Amino acid sequence: MDSMDCYVYYRVSTTHADAARQAVARLFALTATQFGVSGRLQSRADASPNDATQNVSTWMERYDNVDAAFIAALPQMVVACGLAAYLEGGRHVECFVDMPTLPPPCA
């Protein structure tokens, strides 16, 4: 498979947010060192009522132009950097590829 963009979302307890951010920084250092991939961290803009009552925040990592080897190695890197300890539930990974450009319509 060609290059793809990968989005990983998960929930983190607000109590452990600072420690989790430090773990994500370590994760991004690993992805950069091992694969030359820079990640981006985002948080959900519109917290759900469920998140608020459970004192969690939804975060998303974004990785552009990655390959299958990167996706396969990501779970081990999450454990190695310590992020797994701060997750509330699992990580959900979704990967997307660009759709081919359609030819222009006939006039």
59's enclosing H/E stretch is: strand 56-66
102 located within any domain:
no
pLDDT of residue 46: 84
Q: What strands lie across the sheet with 92-96, from one edge to the other?
A: 39-43, 56-66, 4-13, 92-96
> Is 107 within a domain?
no
Q: Cα dist. 90→5, 19, 75, 99 in Å?
A: 20, 17, 11, 29
**Residues near 27 by beta carbon (within 8 Å), at least 6 away in sequence:** 39, 61, 77, 78, 81, 83
Band of the pLDDT at 1, cuts 50, 70, 90?
low
Q: pTM (2 decimals)?
A: 0.87
Specify the number of domains making up the chain. Answer: 1
Helical packing angle, 17-35 and 68-81, nearest 10°? 140
25 phi/psi in degrees, rounded to 5: -60, -40
Instruction: Convert the pLDDT of each residue in 52-81 to its tens digit.
Output: 778 899 999 999 999 999 999 999 999 999
Question: Could you tell me the residue range of the domain that residue 14 belongs to?
Answer: 4-93
CATH of the domain at 32: 3.30.70.100
Which residue is associated with the tokens 């030359």?
36
